[in-house]
Amino acid sequence: MPDSPITDTADFEVGSIVAGLRQSRDVLHNVRYRGPVRPPPSREAIVEMLAQFTMALFPAHYGKLGNGHDPVTPDMIDDFVAGALKRALPALYEHLRGTLPFAAEGVPSDEATSREARAMTAALAGALPEIRGLLVSDLRAAYAGDPAATGFSEVLLVYPGMTAIIHHRLAHVLYKLGARFLARYISEIAHSLTGIDIHPGAQIGGSFFIDHGTGVVVGETAVIGERVRLYQHVTLGARSFPADDTGALIKGRLRHPIVEDDVVVYAGATILGRITVGRGSTIGGGVWLTHGVPPNSYITQAQARSNEPDRQG
């Protein structure tokens, strides 16, 4: 017979526990934000906002009418997109108002936070056509680069790499605008959905394709050129983490790779440090690379270990 549920907490000295937690919060281990209490937006609310933005970007594929069954027809697409934006943009504004103070210096006023949130919302809204153009280039690259792809719809609706890059394109704009908390939240939602971990600070050119995708990691200061293809379990990471005199890690250093145009990185490759992988290079599966390679290189595991990359072209 299972134990009875706990209905009386008298035996647990709740009062002393509450006092101990207060002592931790206020004195011993205080990490609280000093301004007014601002609970972060719920994950579910951010996911819904992202869904509305995605419907605005690709209404013919993601758009559904109120009953959830009838598709959007060509003659109603503009109205549908307007409706999605009327839901997404106010939600973004509220999420920004709630999260911008977390990374602010000092305690900004509500008025200042609201002004900044409104300006960022307008900036992202204005960037949506450019974001869509980049995403279409990514979609075309995925279809062209995967012989198993049956069409654009499959790539857009099913491929985890496409889901990850949709999230990243939106998060990266927010990151550049200074909304780093919300941008990171969005990237972690994509990570949990796809197994692909792209920091919102990473700069990624057009026609980007992640094939399969599970376990891909792209660091904050990575720079990826045009028409780059990554396979599963590729890491573009940092080689070391310099510290200051107190032992604290120095933030803001350029510590991740630069991958130039037309590079292919095969499964399980690890590229570390602020090094450059030259244009048109191919990095073989399982390679551990900590030195730069010139354009048109073809790097295998043996070449990477010898520190003498093959120089072709």
Count Cβ neighbours within 10 Å for each residue of 225-237 and write b for 16 or more, e otherwise. bbbbbbbbbbbbb
pLDDT band (50, 70, 90) for residue 2? low
Predicted TM-score of the model (pTM): 0.86
pLDDT confidence band for 275 (50 / 70 / 90): very high
Q: Are residues 187 and 57 in the same domain?
A: yes
pLDDT tens column, 244-265: 777 777 777 899 999 999 999 9
Coil, strand or helix: which one is 42?
Answer: coil
| CB-based contact 153:120 (threshold 8 Å) | no
Residue 120 sits in which domain range? Answer: 40-195
CA distance 195 to 160: 8
Structure tokens belonging to residue 95: 């999420």
Does the pLDDT value for residue 308 go beyond 60? no
Q: What percent of the chain has pLDDT over 70?
A: 88
**170 in the same domain as 234:** no
241 compared with 148, residue with greater pLDDT: 148
In DSSP terms, 197 is beta-bridged to: 217
The tens digit of pLDDT for each residue in 212-248 reads 999 999 999 999 999 999 999 999 999 977 777 777 7
**Cβ density class 54-63: b for 16+ within 10 Å, e for less:** bbbbbbeebb
For 159-176, what is each residue's pLDDT tens digit? 999 999 999 999 999 999
* Residue whose structure tokens are 């959007």: 72
Across the range 86-106, mean pLDDT stands at 91
Q: 141 and 270 in one domain?
A: no
Same-domain pairing of 59 and 180: yes
pLDDT value at position 311? 42
Contact (CB, 8 A) for 228 and 271: no
Mean per-residue pLDDT over the chain, rounded: 89
CATH of the domain at 145: 1.10.3130.10
Residue spans of beta strands (DSSP E) within the chain: 197-198, 203-204, 209-210, 217-218, 223-224, 229-230, 235-237, 258-259, 264-265, 270-272, 276-277, 282-283, 288-289, 298-299
Residue 186 shares a structural domain with residue 221: no
Tens digits of residue pLDDT in 11-47: 678 888 899 988 888 788 776 656 665 677 899 999 9
Q: Is 82 within the bounds of a domain?
A: yes
179 and 287 housed in the same domain: no
Kind and range of the H or E run holding 181 = helix 180-194
Same domain membership, residue 260 and residue 149: no
Total of domains in the chain: 2
The pLDDT > 90 percentage for the chain reads: 69
